Every structure is written in C-alpha cells, then in structure tokens.
Structure 1
C-alpha cells in the first residue's frame, strides 16, 4: 500500500467494519502506551489517525472530564465504526488529514499516534504539523501494540534499514520536525517512541 491519502482511505475503509475484532487483546498495550505520555487531568490531547477510536476511552480517563480529547482520522468508515462503538462520547471526532489539522497553533498538550508514522504521506511535513498544534514541552507518543519485528512477521515481511520507525531513522526525522526523541522502546509486545515538542 502506498501512503497516498486516497490509498490509505481505501485500505482502511475496506477493513473498518472488522477492525476491532481483528485485534481484541490490544487494550492493555494501549493503556500502557497512553500511561507513558504522562497526561494530567485537564490536558488537551489528539489521537492522530484514531481509526475506530480504540485509544479514546483511555485518553479520556487520563485527562478526566475537564480535559479535551480529539480523534482525527482520514477514513470516514473508521470514524463510523468509532461512533457505532460509542467512542464518540469519549472525545470529538474529526474527519481530517493529520497533515492539515483545523486546530490553532500550540493548543494541545500531547498527540498520540497508534500505527501512524508508516501511513504518513510526507512524514517530515506531517510531523511538523503535529508539532505546530502542540505547545512547547508537549509530548508526542508514536505507538504500536506490537514491535517492529513482530509486525513485520505478522505481514510476512522483512525488516528493512529504511523503516521509519527504526531509531536511527526516527530520531533525525523527529529532530527535523520540531521534536526531540525522549525514549524509545521496540520489543515484541510494544513499540513506543516518546518525543518532546522543542521550543
């Protein structure tokens, strides 16, 4: 699959209806990924590429009733599934490209992106847009419920040196986009890269 937005929409649109059923045991991994961000009650957080909204309830629990949770996704069918699952009660859903967010500069405290980076059409530009909407010192969590090696095996692919999620590639990509990589975990049970928004 290419990272062209139309191809991404087509790919996820065709799989939206059965998406949650394919990954029924991811809940604890999502909870641990969100916990690592260090959100506080009242914080404002974006789930970028939220899909069916599996992280929204965990994000809502972290920021509490006074916080703001926004789920943004490019694929209407994924957001329809989020509504069908009742997850629109946990946060506002936006049908939008995360590369062109309808949000003010510096309005967010954090961004959570599950499986996001490998689907960005222009990773550097798109990560700069995420940096734009986050306040200085705010956080970015690039997450996946399984690590790079396990994911490659699931898709019957080899890990390649040009994988954007590999630390030697991700660190400079983030640095050139307004972020500083703060911690990096890539193990069978999760992938989590935490970055801080530079001043």
Structure 2
C-alpha cells in the first residue's frame, strides 16, 4: 500500500467513530445532491469514497429497490461505522481503492463522490478510473455539503489558487480525464460539480 493510502486510512480511521456526530445536519444536502443526478429507478450508482455511507440512503431513494447502490471506501473503520449505522441496508459496501475499482467497465450509470477529490493521490488518473466504470453519458457528481469558502473557514485556512475544486482548475482536470463538466455550484450551503462521461 502506498504512503498516500496509508495517510488517508490513518486520517479517516482515527475519525470514523464520531464522523457522523460531527456533521449531523448534512442529510438534506445529500438528498438534494442525489436528487439532482437525474437518476431513474433501476439505475446503478457508486458512492466513491463513501466513508460512513451517509449518501447511501439518498441514492437508494432515487434508484429505488430495483436499482443498485454500491459504496466503496479504502478505510475499514469507515465501512464499519457505516454498518453500525445500518447503511448497508441501502447499498453494498466494498473495501476498495477508487484508483482500482473491482467493477466492470461501463457498468454504472453514475458515480457520486462526496469530499473525495481533495484526497485523491493522482486526481487525473483516479478520475479516469471513475470514467472507466461509468457508461458513456453517465454522470459524475463531485459533492461537499458545504462550499469551499465555508470549508476553508471551518478548517482555519484560506482557499488557495491551486485548489482542485476551483472551477477554473476542475473543468480542465475533468476534461483531461474524459469528463465534460455540465454544472458547477459553490455556495456556502453546498459544493456540487456535475460532469458527463465522454465517449
């Protein structure tokens, strides 16, 4: 396992037990983001870097009982917290690295990724892997329940010009990884960038 993976596991492993209690009011933001994906009953969606699985109930609501919801995360403690919260009822949990997903090519209709992009060790390459598992015309949602400025303030830091989530940086990054950004929202109450997989 790479040093990057070890650091991510250590960071989230240490925070898994109380993760949900630190952000108790995020549910409506997750539901609104999931509803905005344009998914239909029966669709297949992956929550990439699912953490404690907070998005899984919202994703299940939009794809219905006939759809498939998967949650993949690199950190065992996060998946254990998802199980304790009963979220495996809403989707299948996978211990997996988003850089090497154990999924068939073009098998998904959408990928939902909450707070993931800042933790990707090789963003362009990792976004290409998410593209690989998504069908042509499928959707990628890069989400955070608060915007960039609010998140930076919470963490006691400033937004830097090199922030991957800045629209001027994210659009070209997605384009170079086989995605076309279709919408971009960065406001205090949420961050949501949507992209469509190019052929």
On whether the aligned pair clears a TM of 0.5, the verdict is yes
How many residue pairs get matched?
197
Match of 2:89?
89
Match of 1:153?
153
1:15 paired to 2:15: yes
Question: 1:36: how far off?
Answer: 1.0
Q: Secondary structure at the match of 1:17?
A: coil
Q: Distance in 2 between matches of 1:5 and 1:172?
A: 25
Question: 1:5: how far off?
Answer: 1.0
Match of 2:195?
195
1:34 paired to 2:34: yes
Q: Secondary structure at the match of 1:4?
A: helix
Q: Distance in 2 between matches of 1:171 and 1:29?
A: 23
**Residues 144-167 of structure 1: CA deviation (Å, up to 9, x unaligned):** 000000000000000000000000
Question: 1:168: how far off?
Answer: 0.5
RMSD (CA atoms): 0.7
Match of 1:55?
55
Q: Distance in 2 between matches of 1:53 and 1:156?
A: 26
Match of 2:184?
184
Question: 1:9: how far off?
Answer: 0.3
Return 5+ residue gaps in structure 2 as ranges. none
Runs of 4+ off more than 2 Å: none
Q: Secondary structure at the match of 2:17?
A: helix
Length-normalised TM-score, structure 1: 0.98
Question: 1:43: how far off?
Answer: 0.2
Return 5+ residue gaps in structure 1 as ranges. none
**Residues 72-115 of structure 1: CA deviation (Å, up to 9, x unaligned):** 00000000000001101111100010010000000000000000
Length-normalised TM-score, structure 2: 0.98
